[in-house]
Amino acid sequence: MSTTLDLDHAATAPVRRSALEAMWPALTGVYGNPSSAHEAGRAAAALLEDARARVARAIGARAGQVVFTSGGTEADALAVLGTVRARILAGRPAGHVLTTGIEHSAVRQSCDQLARLHGVEVEHLALDRDGLTSADDLAARLRPVTALVSVHLAHNEVGTVQPVAELAAVAREAGVPVHVDAVQAAGQIPVDVRALGADLVALSGHKVGGPKGVGALWVRPGHALEPLVPGGGQERGRRSGTQNVAGAAGFAAAFAEAEVERAAAADAWSGLRDRFAARVLDGVRELVPDARLTGHPTRRLPRHASFVLPGVNGESVLEEAARRGVLASAGSACSAHDAEPSPTLLALGLSEDEARTALRCTFGPDADAPLLDAAADAIVDAVRTVTALR
């Protein structure tokens, strides 16, 4: 291919021009500390609050419910640790947390910390081979001491979209709060906090074309949250530290643009995804008879296609694809340097050998059929080269 195609948008997206333009004032003339009472501080605070309002509008919320963080990882950790610790401090039942075995490491490690430091039992909901859990299983596992349910809206490795509204309805009836990691979903499927029925929703700027180092946590009014970062009491006491005004402005502008694109093109993206996946699988069928899609075949992100290629080294395929101008990944960027097989794929019943053959292709909003066809052909050619070396 003469043009490099980035098929690793699930790891990060290029920064949008709209984000850069929104950030420029906060990096130049409007440089004040938003907590300062003078004119420079008030100007920075106005930029920050405008960004907060724009992020809130994108998810159907009110501005005062949005807490800016350093990214999706912090937003997830604040939701999980902050919720359970607040309940413990209030003397409320908090001995049990329900999640899944395929959550982002920010959720998994936060749950591990709760177990290690507070004796909280962490239980995993059942998953089918596509990575879906069910409201029935959740209802069967809820207890009087359950402090939180934490699930993702859409999975970063396999693209499966969870039935969050159904899960939240079950948890709400039992009086248990729900945290939703919507980092991968934002900009591809609707993230409407009212429709989801959750109590906390985590977001990240760089997944929608904003800068790295900024994210947000939506918090339902009245939800108790113990801060992880003490200090000056910024973000209404939920996250201290001088706010990243430029980052918030860029995040808000990028998210607003991404939402316009999503509303106009999500169906077209799904068609491109299915065309691309079919072209890859048809092309490698003779070379790798057991090649298949991972995640749910239809209930998945519209710009996400992930595969396993049994018997073929996934890292070698990625290297050969890169030589042909296609950038893809084996899975989560947060564990890209980990030699161990993906915990997600193991949790879905794949063997360690199969999990090491994973290939994840996630394209951007501007990708079109000719470019994706060429990318699929390059991946097939990469597989052909690797299999010839076996």
pLDDT in tens, 183-193: 999 999 999 99
- Distance separating alpha carbons of residues 159 and 117, to the nearest angstrom: 32
Angle between helices 245-284 and 17-27 (to 10 degrees): 160
Query: According to CATH, where is 3.90.1150.10 located in the chain?
Result: 5-12+265-389
Dump pLDDT digits (tens) for 215-270: 999 999 999 999 999 999 999 999 999 999 999 999 999 999 999 999 999 999 99
Average pLDDT over residues 54-81: 98
Query: How many angstroms from the chain centroid is the CA of residue 338?
Result: 19
- Distance separating alpha carbons of residues 172 and 160, to the nearest angstrom: 23
Phi/psi of residue 271, nearest 5 degrees: -65, -40
> How confident is the model at residue 280, as a pLDDT?
98
> How confident is the model at residue 4, as a pLDDT?
83
Active-site residue 111, yes or no?
A: no
Dump pLDDT digits (tens) for 343-384: 999 999 999 999 999 999 999 999 999 999 999 999 999 999
Dump pLDDT digits (tens) for 319-345: 999 999 999 999 765 544 556 889 999
- Distance separating alpha carbons of residues 150 and 2, to the nearest angstrom: 43
3-state secondary structure of 8: strand
Average pLDDT over residues 283-297: 97
DSSP string, 141-204: H--TTEEEEEEESB-TTT-BBP-HHHHHHHHHHTT--EEEE-TTTTTTS---HHHH--SEEEEE
pTM, two decimals, is 0.96
- Cβ contacts of residue 67 below 8 Å, gap of 6+? 75, 78, 216, 217, 218, 219, 235, 236, 238, 239
Share of the chain above pLDDT 70, in %: 97
> How confident is the model at residue 141, as a pLDDT?
98
Which option is the CATH number for 5-12+265-389: 3.90.1150.10, 3.40.50.2000, 3.40.50.970, 3.30.420.240? 3.90.1150.10
> How confident is the model at residue 329, as a pLDDT?
96
CATH 3.40.640.10 holds for 17-257: yes
Query: According to CATH, where is 3.40.640.10 located in the chain?
Result: 17-257
Catalytic residue among 40, 165, 327, 334: 334
Average pLDDT over residues 294-308: 98
- Distance separating alpha carbons of residues 144 and 109, to the nearest angstrom: 24
User: Residue 296: pLDDT band by 50, 70, 90 thresholds?
Assistant: very high
Determine contact, residues 284/291, Cβ cutoff 8 Å. Answer: yes
